[in-house]
Amino acid sequence: MSDAVQVISAIIFNVEFITGSFGNGFIALRNIMDWIKRRKISTVDLLLTALAISRITVLWSLYIMLSIFVVYPDLKLAPQTVRLTNLIWVISNHFSIWLATILSILYFLKIANFSNSIFLYLRWRFKKVVSVALLLSLFLLFLNILVTNIRVDMCMNEFKANISYSYKLKNATYCFRLLELTNSMFTLIPFTVSMTTFFLLIFSLWKHLKKIKHISKSSRDTSTIVHIKALKTVVAFILLYVIFTLSTFVQLLSYEFEEKNFLNYFFFVGIIAFPSIHSWVLIMGNSKLRQPSLSVLSLLRSNIQGCGWTLGSLAH
């Protein structure tokens, strides 16, 4: 049973890694090429490009670290290695989450419909809102790095007396648990912001439908579609974020058990789903990216089928 779960998890993990790398790579490449061609880029496209690059870093760092730990399960880790590994993960994961959160705020400001003066001011100054949110995220990133480095130093001091500046991975569960718990606390802040924008979008849609009850059906449908599209994007983000958060807590729970490999499989599959699947949600929800991506997928499928026919002919 354990072997079967391991094989299935490995297949899902690799599929998520490949599709996520392709999706995020497509977003980044498409927007960068368009930026070079037009000599300008919109705020949304700039955020999407930065988000895609950060998620490529998340995917590859996760894949490399997991591969190393699978090949070398008893690998000795020096304090510098633990600190560097944690730093790469914290920075890439931080920007992956925060840029997606800022994107949801931007969608909310552009689509929601409130007569409140504060909302109207924020909508008018949406670039300033993005800048303030980025500065806030950088401040929280600094705090996150500072706290986790203190945690690493505390762990190293505990292991110095017995294992002389390095220790085996299986003896470091306490340290990794502290680091994951700390990082999880910082990721709850953007999650709260995203939930707030989600409920405000629902409230905006409800107010909009109530306001235009007596207006023509075509006008009502157009406005409703815009709201629903935005809600779909935010809902997908929140659901994947919930899976990501639950996977982290499953990993924290696994430290209570000696046989924790079964739970580890769910951790890696769940945690990589967020940066992988959400990229395709963003592509399908963006008219500028959706059609080119479908064309590329159709071309790839044709080439694969062509290779299949060629191999079949050679075999006969």
**Mean pLDDT of the region 7-26:** 88
pLDDT of 56-66, one tens digit each?
998 998 888 77
Rg (CA), the chain: 23
Give the DSSP letter of residue 214.
Answer: T
Phi and psi torsions of 77, nearest 5°: -115, 125
Q: What share of the chain is helix, strand, coil (3-state, %, to 5)?
A: 90, 0, 10
Q: Where are the domains of the chain?
A: 1-212+222-294
Parallel, antiparallel, or unpaired for β 76-77 and 167-168? antiparallel
Fold of 1-212+222-294: Rhopdopsin 7-helix transmembrane proteins (1.20.1070)
pLDDT of 120-163, one tens digit each?
888 888 888 888 999 999 999 999 988 888 877 777 666 665 55
- Cβ–Cβ under 8 Å, residues 116 and 204: no
Query: Long-range pairs for 152-161 at CB < 8 Å and ≥24 separation?
Result: 152/79, 152/82, 152/83, 152/86, 152/179, 153/79, 154/178, 155/82, 156/79, 156/82
State pTM to two decimals.
0.81
> From CA 291, how far away is CA 239, in angstroms rounded?
25
- What pLDDT was estimated at residue 243? 84
196-207 burial: b if 16+ Cβ within 10 Å, else e: ebbeebeebbee
**Does 68 score more than 90 pLDDT?**
no
- What pLDDT was estimated at residue 139? 94
Q: Name the residue among 288, 2, 234 with its Cα closest to residue 112.
A: 234
- What pLDDT was estimated at residue 165? 44
- What pLDDT was estimated at residue 162? 55
Share of the chain above pLDDT 70, in %: 71
**Structure token pair of residue 156:** 């190293």
> From CA 246, how far away is CA 191, in angstroms rounded?
13
- Cβ–Cβ under 8 Å, residues 175 and 83: no
Q: Name the residue among 1, 23, 39, 41 with its Cα closest to residue 274.
A: 23
**Mean pLDDT of the region 11-24:** 90
